[in-house]
Amino acid sequence: MNQVKQIHAHTLRNGIDQTKFLIVKLLQIPNIPYARSLFDLLPNPTTFLYNKLLHAYSSHNPSQCLSLYSQMRLQNCPPNHYSFTFLFAACASLAASHNGQMLHTQFLKLGFHFDPFVFTSLLDMYAKCGLIVFARQLFDEMPQRDIPVWNSIIAGYARGGELEEARELFELMPERNVVSWTSLISGYSQNGLFEEALEMFLRMGEEVGVRPNEVTVASVLPACAKLGALELGERIDAYARENGFMRNVFVCNSLVEMYAKCGRIDRARRVFEEIGRERNLCSWNSMIMGLAVHGRWEEGLEFFHEMLVGGIAPDDITFVGVLMACTHGGLVDEGWNFFQSMEKSFSITPKLEHYGCMVDLLGRAGQLEEAYSLIINMPMKPDSVVWGALLGACSFYGHVELAERAAEFLFHLEPWNPGNYVILSNVYAFSGRWDGVAKVRMLMKGNRVKKGAGYSFIELHGFVHKFLVEDRLHPRCDEIYALLDEITGKMKPLGYVPNIDCELQNHE
């Protein structure tokens, strides 16, 4: 940078015009504001220089890219193919579909023919703006498709939750790279299809010449966290360290979340400490939430105060973790103070999740009437999570009247959920109201609601196995049941008696 300034000073002293050379050098550094100040001194900038600045803006300040193009047209400087490539990229970054469509129209009116770079940029713009129909139309019209084009359309489908279409195109690809795999893994993970995300990641490991990058790792770790796939998560941790990915805060944050959700909160804390000065709000939120969920509420609240002392402002997610910590600690007064401080001290308007946390806090503390009053006076319509928290508390304390009110709303909000019927039935049974139990069973029968089969996940050698109640679909079910019979046979002489009631309920 100092060398560029010296060259600039030399040209000014000696009357030499090196403005174009300096602009190109400044954009390579990059120092875009300095380059723009020199650019604005030029009486008639060329298309080449406009494109250099458009390229820089498309990566660093996309909104300026569009205003510079307007200036370009006002000065009658003709754009070319490259100009539109950068402009479409800027619209993709801004998700500015309206601007992108107008630019597409101008491109056609100017009589340009598509080349592969413009085609890819335009398709990517439509895909990232959610206009997947237009993107697919372009894709189908392309005479030749390279890997970036395939990746753009697959990522567009995955981003929009259309995973079947994304998978179908993925399987049709003549050649794939790490971006292809990552797009699908990320799509599955973001749309809650965690088993499929892990399946694709493991399959990727078998692909010759393709290795996961930082984005792949950060995309698959949330799936490990959700499924409790600790063994695979540890393997990914080792891979990330071997390949220098621990410098990436997104990878580190994903590891913190994975370890916390898999019950290894001390490992999560070690990774958190490794991040050091690069910690961001997400890092703190993952730790606060993880500590709260695992009942280490004192440490969670200590982290919150440490975060504030460090000058990091909390967000709404932070307060979900803080209120959960209060819930696990039974800190009703502290919970109210934190809840009220959100708006007063941090200008954060409490959301539905925060009201749900407060209902859960009050309900677990036995303050059921207060919890109900909070629900009735909420500034927004309570959802099934809020009413579910109250119903769960009523189940614990045997409060029939409030349980009936909560269940009434839940039956309306999610009539398909058998769990609400079961909890209400348990409340009736706890209070000896067998007529109520019979009424709930009749209601379930009338609404054709069936209790879903329970299932669990078990990870073994990096693979996640799903088991249903009385599962006969697992490929090794004969071995599993043989082992269970053997275990049961050894337990009975030691005094084990099967719980007949539970078994009968599972068969009902």
pLDDT tens for residues 438-452? 888 888 877 766 655
At residue 457, φ and ψ (nearest 5 deg) are -110, 140
In a domain, 340, yes or no: yes
Tell me the average pLDDT of the chain.
87
Judged against a pLDDT cut of 80, whether residue 3 lies above it is answered with no
- 355: domain CATH number is 1.25.40
| Residue-level pLDDT at 234 | 95
Asked if the structure places residue 46 within a domain, the reply is no
In-domain check, residue 6: no
Q: Are residues 401 and 448 in the same domain?
A: yes
Could you tell me if 424 and 433 are in contact, meaning their C-beta atoms sit under 8 angstroms apart? no
Looking at the fold, whether 325 and 389 belong to one and the same domain comes out as no
Torsion of CA 325, 360, 255, 157, to 10 degrees: -150
Q: Does 340 lie in the same domain as 371?
A: no
pLDDT of residue 28: 81
401 shares its domain with 486: no
Token duo for residue 370: 């207060």
* Last-in-domain residue among 347, 370, 396: 347
How many other C-beta atoms can be found within 10 angstroms of the C-beta atom of residue 3? 8
Domain assignment of residue 314, given as a range: 280-347
**Can you tell me the distance from the alpha carbon of 489 to that of 496, in angstroms, rounded to the nearest whole number?**
9
Residue 390 lies in a domain: yes
Average pLDDT for 192-208 = 93
Strand-pair partners of 455 = 468
Give the C-alpha separation, 427 to 200, whole Å: 43
Same domain, 373 and 409: yes
Q: Are residues 499 and 438 in the same domain?
A: no
Question: With contact defined as beta carbons under 8 Å apart, do 232 and 266 qualify?
Answer: no
* Same domain flag for 320 and 373: no
Any domain includes 440 = yes
Per-range mean pLDDT, top range of 19-28, 337-346, 481-490: 337-346
Residues 423 and 485 in one domain: no
Task: Please tell me the distance from the alpha carbon of residue 291 to that of residue 399, in angstroms, as a whole number.
Answer: 31
- pLDDT bucket at 34, cuts 50 / 70 / 90: confident
- Tell me if 367 is assigned to some domain: yes
**439 lies in the same domain as 475:** no
Higher pLDDT, 6 or 153: 153
Assess if residue 127 is contained within a domain. Answer: no
> Looking at beta carbons, which pairs linking 160-164 to residues 24 or more positions away fall under 8 Å?
160/130, 160/132, 161/187, 161/191, 162/132, 163/187, 163/188, 163/191, 163/193, 163/196
Whether 57 and 68 have beta carbons less than 8 Å apart is answered as yes
Q: Are residues 314 and 361 in the same domain?
A: no
pLDDT (0 to 100) of residue 254: 96
pTM: 0.77
Work out how many domains the chain is built from and give that number.
3
Domain shared by 304 and 399, yes or no: no
Last residue of a domain, one of 347, 365, 395: 347
Q: Are residues 332 and 359 in the same domain?
A: no
Q: Is the pLDDT at 456 greater than 90, yes or no?
A: no
Q: What is the pLDDT of residue 2?
A: 57
In the structure encoding, which two tokens stand for residue 152, read together?
Answer: 């753009």
Average pLDDT over residues 277-290: 95
Mean pLDDT of all residues in 307-316: 94
Instruction: Give a yes or no: residue 329 inside a domain.
Output: yes
Whether 353 contacts 320, CB under 8 Å: yes
| Alpha carbons 206 and 453: distance in angstroms, whole number | 34
The answer on pLDDT for 7 being more than 60 is: no
Residues 6+ away with beta carbon under 8 Å from 141: none
Rounded Cα distance between 52 and 80, Å, is 12
